[in-house]
Amino acid sequence: MARDDPPKSGIRDAILWHLTYTLGKDPDHAQLFDWRLALSHAVRDRIVDRWMESARATRRAGARRVYYLSMEFLIGRLLQDNIVNLQLADETQAAVDSFGLDYRALLLDEPDAALGNGGLGRLAACFMESLATIGCPAHGYGIRYEHGLFRQSFAAGRQVEAPEDWLVQPFVWQFERPEARFTLGFGGHVATHQGKPVWEPESFVQSEAFDVPVIGWPGNWANTLRLWAGRAVDPFDLSRFNAGDFTAAAEAEALARTISRVLYPQDSTEKGKRLRLTQEYFFSAASIRDILRRFEGEHGDLRLLPRKVAIQLNDTHPAIAGPELLRILHDERGLPFDEALDITRACVNYTNHTLLPEALESWGEGLFSDLLPRHLQIIERIDAADARAHPDRRGGARDQGRVRMGELAFMLSNRVNGVSALHTGLMKTTVFADRHRLHPDRIVNQTNGVTPRRWLLGCNPRLSRLICETIGRGWIADLEQLQRLEPHVADDGWLGRFAAAKAANKADLCDWTLREHGVALAPDAIFDVQIKRIHEYKRQHLNILEAIALWQAMRDDPGAGWPTRVKIFAGKAAPGYVLAKQIIRLINDVAAVVNADPATNERLQILYLPNYNVTLAERLIPAADLSEQISTAGKEASGTGNMKFALNGAPTIGTLDGANVEIRERVGAENFFLFGLTAEEAEARRLVPDHAGRAIAADPRLARAIEAIRSGSFSPDEPDRYGDIVANLTGADYFLVCSDFADYWRAQRQVDRAYADRDGWARMAARNLARSGWFSSDRAIRGYMQDIWGAQSLLGRE
């Protein structure tokens, strides 16, 4: 090996080169960690040329750029994704094998970058990958959290949170950009100079940029994910240090770094937290400056901005970007206010991800003016202009001393979108009913999607191989081609191979649970999986109630021919969400009792896997038989896990909520286990006095399952441990667990019968796969490009 250029030809030589010259390790002494970093560098080298060429092509074309602003990018591990998208999987595996290393272990050595809470953050990651695959010039902007979402473990069944520290290891995929720093102001007051308002901030922080290239399939285009970190303007106070005050000398730096220190672990919004608003302004303002810097470097006239820039706000977390852009255009560049407002609105769009009232962001005006006094004035002016234009409007951006970010984002957006047909419809009739009346064309739908590269090709190699052998490789970039599998579903030979792939994935999962968690699962069981954040509206407690009732029924009638079932749960609860944490504990307590019962444990097992993250999802979804999507209708905006399961051949048991509706339409009602109230019926049911009590009285199974919890069957050392859950279920039961229980039980027994016919089940599963092509994030992104951004692909194959 010579200290020449790192070899570009073969990945094997490149790994050895980087091991030697980048890592400084002798192959004889290198650890898995060193090999993984060497491989990552070798892969990264293969992205850079494409990346630079993509940027050049964008500049040459003078194309409109898309800017995706998101507080969260739940990117997970990147090494495998990059290898897959560069089409290097076979060559890399061979190289790694030749070193006598375990390829899977090498990939899994990478920390999982959990820079997000759940659906919203993972959607942003899938969208970045699809934008690159399509060749749409785009930049993602977010925060480079030092600590991502907390690590979850269980102590006696209870969730314990520990800090996550992915950045302790070198993050090979990032490029530091010291030149792209911006100084951002906070607080202070608004002075008047020559009749004009001038914001005089009290303190300043710098934003430092770290760029992560995002390569699309099959390696022809790469975009940038730019993550901001907080830095002090004057990192170190030498005079204080010399005076002996060592801690104070570094105080400014510590404070500035606090901004990008941790991800808030609440997936519905964290209320009233000053640091949260600081984070939101920090990354929004840095991004707006970066966007303007790039624009002004290429074009002169700010009135061209809407033709060159499309900004997407991923929920309201970056909504302050609107007033910030307006402020710069008006206060700093001198455009008249109304013109600045028009330009801003022509650039900005907003995606809503939830209708839950507690998740709609609003800030007290006191806090707001304390931190962003000039922005509050600008919002007052926007609001006043809106009130003049719509004298009959029912509410504005400011209401009872609060700034409502949803209203603000709506007012400053050209398009506002929901994330499934049902959700978009409900936006028009509920939260944004009045706005929709005033702007009937502004709200549009873009049903979510997931990237098939990570969520099928990468995570399910066995099934992908079968698909490729059957219909070629076109589906990878054009997922609708999965339809071509349809004729093969009737072919017993093919169906056998399909079922064998699932069985092998399940066997892998069994090996892993045994190795990692000491749990032996029955490989032949129905793998019934519910993995997502823990929330009352997602109703993990409905699932565990059904498990209790099933256990009781099995004990009553052991000979009834029950099929074997493994119920798998995973998911984190926000640390402050007491009831969600109780649900976790209840599931673990029930699991302990049920799994120890010799009368039933050959037939029913319950497993709660700790620390759900992208990596665990990639492990579980290919091995699932049944996808639990059981939210109270009207509450889940879309769901994206539901799509991943269908795509991996796991039929859904679910309500008519979010994108379940569209999944069922596409895979066919006969391949979907539907139960429960519709969104409309749910609304009506809440008005029925004592609806929970009535449901319990009408269903002895439900009554008995609740009674088992109430009487301490699962917490004998503390019988009233679950008093709150029981009171909730038997009282207000806002999420209608009791009302939906009987129908859920019925649908689960329908699953039992369907699973008993293995060929019939495999056909159903295969039809889920063949008909899921529409749920690609490529389709979703094309929808945004056409209906919202007016953006084009530069890859010349559109």
Which positions touch ligand 7GP (CB under 6 A)?
Answer: 117-120, 123, 267-268, 315, 353-354, 359, 419, 448, 636-640, 658
For the record, the structure tokens of 526 come out as 């129905």
The residue among 157 and 449 lying less far from ligand 7GP, judged by its C-beta, is 449
**In whole angstroms, what is the distance from residue 545 CA to residue 551 CA?**
10
Catalytic residue among 144, 423, 532, 585: 532
CA 564 to each of CA 527, 604, 627, 751: distance values in angstroms, whole numbers, following the listed order:
9, 6, 16, 12
Nearer to ligand 7GP, 530 or 552 (CB): 530
Which of 634, 552, 624 has the alpha carbon at shortest distance from 593? 552
Closest distance between ligand 7GP and the C-beta of residue 435, in Å? 18
> What does the DSSP assignment read for 579-629?
HHHHHHHHHHHHHHHHHT-TTTTTTEEEEEESS--HHHHHHHGGG-SEEEE
Q: Which amino acid is at 332?
A: E
Shortest reach from residue 126's CB to ligand 7GP, in Å: 9
Q: Which of 644, 685, 701, 767 is catalytic?
A: 644
Residues 201, 370: contact at Cβ < 8 Å? no
Q: Are 551 and 545 in contact (CB under 8 A)?
A: no
Q: How far, in Å, CA of 640 to CA of 61, rounded?
A: 34
Omega cis (within 30) before 218 = yes
CB of 317 to ligand 7GP, least distance (A): 7
- Identify which of residues 359 and 476 has a Cβ nearer to ligand 7GP in the complex: 359
Amino acid at 787: D
Would residue 193 show up in a list of annotated catalytic residues for this protein? no
> 150: which DSSP letter?
P
Tokens of 223: 């975009």
Sign for the pseudo-dihedral over CA of 293, 298, 304, 307: negative
List all residues 6 or more positions away from 419 whose beta carbon is below 8 Å from its beta carbon: 123, 351, 352, 353, 445, 446, 447, 448, 637, 638, 658, 659
Q: Which of 488, 533, 603, 779 is catalytic?
A: 533
Cα 524 from Cα 533, distance rounded (Å): 27
- Taking the least distance from each CB to ligand 7GP, the nearer of 551 and 612 is 612
Cβ distance to ligand 7GP smaller for residue 315 or 778: 315
Minimum CB distance to ligand 7GP, residue 277 (Å): 15
The answer to whether the Cα torsion of 80, 84, 89, 95 is positive or negative is negative
Which of 538, 572, 664, 701 is labelled catalytic?
Answer: 538
What the block records as the tokens of 577 is: 């969400």
Nearer to ligand 7GP, 317 or 436 (CB): 317
Query: Is the Cβ of residue 359 or residue 376 nearer to ligand 7GP in the bound state?
Result: 359
User: Residue 110 or 267: which CB sits closer to ligand 7GP?
Assistant: 267
The residues pairing with 745 across neighbouring beta strands, listed in sequence order, are none
What residues contact residue 601 under an 8 Å CB cut-off, 6+ apart? 594, 595
Signed CA dihedral, 12, 14, 18, 20: sign only: positive
Q: Which helix (H) or strand (E) holds 141?
A: strand 138-143
Side chain identity at 517, as an amino acid letter?
H
Alpha carbons within 13 A on the beta-carbon side of 208 = 18
**Nearest position to ligand 7GP, beta carbon:** 119
Q: Which is nearer to ligand 7GP, 501 or 646 (CB)?
A: 646
Least Å distance, CB 663 to ligand 7GP, is 12
- As measured in angstroms, the least distance from the Cβ of 418 to ligand 7GP is 9
- Closest distance between ligand 7GP and the C-beta of residue 118, in Å? 4
Chain CA centroid to CA 658, Å: 15
Nearer to ligand 7GP, 120 or 751 (CB): 120
C-alpha to C-alpha distances, 279 to 146, 208, 556, nearest whole angstrom: 13, 14, 56
Smallest separation (angstroms) from ligand 7GP to the CB of 72: 8
Q: What are phi and psi of 78, to 5 degrees?
A: -110, -20
How far is Cα 709 from Cα 719, in angstroms, rounded to an integer?
Answer: 8
Q: How far apart are CA 61 and CA 56, in angstroms?
A: 9
Query: Looking at beta carbons only, is 79 or 419 nearer to ligand 7GP?
Result: 419
Minimal distance in Å, beta carbon 10 to ligand 7GP? 40
Q: Minimal distance in Å, beta carbon 747 to ligand 7GP?
A: 21
Nearest distance from C-beta of residue 85 to ligand 7GP, angstroms:
22
How far is it, in rounded angstroms, from Cα 457 to Cα 524? 25
Q: Active-site residue 644, yes or no?
A: yes
Comparing CB distances to ligand 7GP, the nearer of 343 and 650 is 650
Q: Which residues pair with 226 in a beta bridge?
A: 141, 211
Closer to ligand 7GP by Cβ: residue 54 or 448: 448
Alpha helices (H) in 449-491, listed in sequence order: 452, 461-471
Instruction: Tell me how crowded residue 124 is: count the other CB atoms within 10 A of its CB.
Output: 26
| Element of type H or E holding 207 | strand 203-215
Q: Is 532 a catalytic residue?
A: yes
Q: Are 419 and 448 in contact (CB under 8 A)?
A: yes
CB of 369 to ligand 7GP, least distance (A): 24
- Whole-angstrom distance, CA of residue 130 vs CA of residue 116: 18
The single residue of 640, 652, 685, 763 carrying the catalytic annotation is: 640
Within 13 A of 177's CA, how many CA atoms are on the CB side?
Answer: 20
In one letter, which amino acid is 12? Answer: R
What's the rounded Cα separation, in Å, for the pair 372 and 379?
11
**Looking at 353, 423, 539, 603, which residue is catalytic?**
353
Is 533 an annotated catalytic residue? yes
User: In whole angstroms, how close is the CB of 222 to ligand 7GP at the nearest point?
Assistant: 24
User: Contact, 684 vs 657, CB < 8 A?
Assistant: no
Strands 402-404 and 362-364: antiparallel
Catalytic status, residue 58? no
As annotated, the active-site residues are 353, 532-533, 538, 640, 644
